[in-house]
Amino acid sequence: MILFVGPLPPPLHGFSFINGEMLARFRAAPAAVSVFNRAPAPSQGRVASWWQAAAAWLGFVRALGGAPRASALYMGFSGGLGQLVDLAYLLVARLSGRPVVMHHHSFAYLRQRPTHTALVLRCARRARHIVLCDCMADALSRQYGIARAQIDVVSNAAFLPPAQALDRGHQPAASLQLGFLSNITAEKGIFAFFDLLTALRARGVAVQARVAGPVAPDIAQRFAQALAAQPDCQHLGPVYGEAKAQFYQGLDVLVFPTFYNNEAEPVTLLEALRVGLPVLANARGCIADLVPAGAGVVLHDDARFVDQAADTLQAWARQSTAQWQQRYQQAQQAFVQLRAEHAQRLAGIVQRMTRGGSA
C-alpha cells in the first residue's frame, strides 16, 4: 500500500499537477493507495485550515496502524512552513518503520537553510528523495547532508504526454509572435516582458504578443495600465486544454522572464518544448539544465535580461524559415530526449514502491 500525502488540484498549479500525475501512476501500477490531500479547501481561513490538516493527520495515523508492514509513505514535500505539517506525517511513518519517499518541488529551502527545514530533513536522511534536476540534487545534499545515493533525479518531463508536432513556420517578413504564460506577478516577470516588447519595437522589430494566466490582485491595476500601453498585445486570461494548445500553436517563442527565487522546473517550459516551441528564459532553479543550446536561450543576468533578450530576438527575427524550422525541431527533440530518460527513471521508482518498499 502507498500512503500518499500532498496537495492535489484544485487549485491547479505546478506542484498539485505533478502530485496528481504521481498519484495516477501509483493507481495504474496498480497499487492500493490511501490519499491524504494537503490542499486547503477554497476560501478557508487559517484556523479552519489547521483543523483540516489535523483531521487529515489523524486519519493518516489510523490508516498507518491498519496498513501492511510493507506500506510506504510518499510525500510531496512543501516549500514553506507547511513542512511542519509534513514533519508530523514523517515522524509517525518513521516510528512505525515504514519507508519514506519525499518529492521535492521548490528551491525555497535550497538557496538558504531555514531552521524548520533543517529539522524536518534531519529526520529524513534515511528517506529516499526525488528532485527535479542535478543542480537540485547537489543543493539538497550540500545544504542538509543527505547522501547523494539517497537522491533520485526525475524531471517533470516524465509526467507529460509524448511530444506533439504542431504546424508552425515563422516567415522572415512576419511579426514575431511572442507569448507569456504563468501566474501573472511581478516576480514572474510580466513587467520585464512588457519592457521587452517596448525594446523590440524601438529597434524596429515587428512584434505581436499574447499573455495568458491569472493576474495577481496586488498588481491588477499596474498590469492593466501596462497592458493598455502595449499595441498588439492581448491578455487571454487563464488557458487550459484546447485553449492552451491554441495559445502555443500561435507563437514563435515562449518568453519566461522569471525572477522568482523559488522557481524549480516550470511545467510551462516543458509544455512549450513538447510542441516544439523555443524558449527564451531567465535562469532560475533547473531552467538552465532544461533548455539546451538550440532549444532556446537561457540568460543569467537579471539586470540585463531585457537588453540581452532583445538582442537575441532581433537576431532571430532576421533568420530564414529554414533556421526557424531547425529551432522548432531542436526544441522538440530536447523534450523527447528528456522525457524518455526520466520516464524510465520514474517507472522504476513506481515499480519499487508498489512492490513494497522505498524508491
Q: In the numeric block, which cell numbers belong to residue 285?
A: 532553479
- Residue 341: pLDDT above 70? yes
Residue 256 forms part of a structural domain: yes
Q: Are residues 200 and 299 in the same domain?
A: yes
Contact 42, 23 (CB under 8 A): no
What is the per-residue pLDDT across 116-137, written as a single tens digit (0 to 9) for each?
A: 999 999 999 999 999 999 999 9
Q: What is the pLDDT of residues 224-238, one digit of tens each?
A: 999 999 999 999 999
CATH code at 72?
3.40.50.2000
Domain match, 145 and 197 both: no
Q: How many domains is the chain built from?
A: 2
Q: pLDDT value at position 357?
A: 60
- Please indicate, yes or no, whether residues 185 and 328 belong to a single structural domain of this protein: yes
**Cis omega before residue 11 (within 30°)?**
yes
Do 143 and 236 belong to one domain? no
pLDDT at 48: 78
Tell me the one-letter amino acid at 64.
Answer: L
Q: What is the pLDDT of residue 201?
A: 97
Give the Cα separation of 62 and 71 in Å (integer). Answer: 13
- Predicted local distance difference test score (pLDDT) of residue 43: 65
Q: Does the structure show a pLDDT above 70 at 1?
A: yes
Please report whether residue 48 resides in a domain: yes
Query: Where does the chain have alpha helices with state H?
Result: 14-28, 46-66, 83-95, 115-122, 134-144, 190-202, 220-228, 241-249, 267-274, 287-290, 305-317, 321-354
User: Shortest CA distance to 156 belongs to which of 88, 87, 104?
Assistant: 104
Task: Name the least confident of 7-16, 124-133, 176-185, 272-281.
Answer: 7-16
Q: What is the chain's mean pLDDT, rounded?
A: 94
Q: Per the domain annotation, does 167 fall within a domain?
A: no
The pLDDT, as a whole number, for residue 49 is 79
Give the pLDDT confidence score for residue 172 in this predicted structure.
61
Q: Are residues 26 and 135 in the same domain?
A: yes
Q: Is residue 165 part of a domain?
A: no
Share of the chain above pLDDT 90, in %: 86
The 8-class DSSP code of residue 304 comes to: G
Q: Which residues pair with 128 in a beta bridge?
A: 101
Q: Look at residue 46 and tell me whether its pLDDT is greater than 90.
A: no
Yes or no: say if 330 and 276 are a contact pair by the CB < 8 Å rule: no
Question: pLDDT band for position 51 (50/70/90)?
Answer: confident
Report the pLDDT averaged over residues 37-56: 80
107 and 184 co-located in one domain: no
Q: Give 269's pLDDT tier (boundaries 50, 70, 90).
A: very high
For 9, the domain range is 2-153
- Taking only the tens place, the pLDDT of each residue in 186-220 is 999 999 999 999 999 999 999 999 999 999 999 99
355 HSE (CA, 13 A, CB side): 7
Mean pLDDT of 243-247: 95
Q: Is the pLDDT of residue 15 over 80?
A: yes
Distance CA 126, CA 123 (A): 8
Query: Are 148 and 184 in the same domain?
Result: no
Q: CB–CB of 154/128 below 8 Å? A: no
The answer to whether residue 103 is domain-embedded is yes
| Residue 148 and residue 180 in one domain | no
Do 83 and 224 lie in a common domain? Answer: no
**Residue 202 CB coordination number (10 Å):** 9
Q: Tell me, yes or no, whether 168 lies in a domain.
A: no
Q: Residue 169 above 70 pLDDT?
A: no
Q: In the predicted model, is pLDDT for residue 12 greater than 90?
A: no
Residue 358 has a pLDDT of 65
Q: Given this model, what pLDDT does residue 70 score?
A: 81
Residue 349 lies in a domain: no
Same domain, 142 and 202: no
Q: Which residues make beta-bridge pairs with 129?
A: 102, 151
Handedness of CA 127, 345, 69, 51 (dihedral sign): positive
Q: Verify that 190 and 275 share a domain, yes or no.
A: yes
What is the reported pLDDT for 4?
Answer: 97
208 found inside a domain: yes
pLDDT tens digits, residue range 298-334? 999 999 999 999 999 999 999 999 999 999 999 999 9
In the predicted structure, residue 280 carries a pLDDT above the cut 70: yes
Distance (Å, whole) CA 114 – CA 87? 14
Cell numbers of 92, please?
509517525
Same domain, 90 and 135: yes
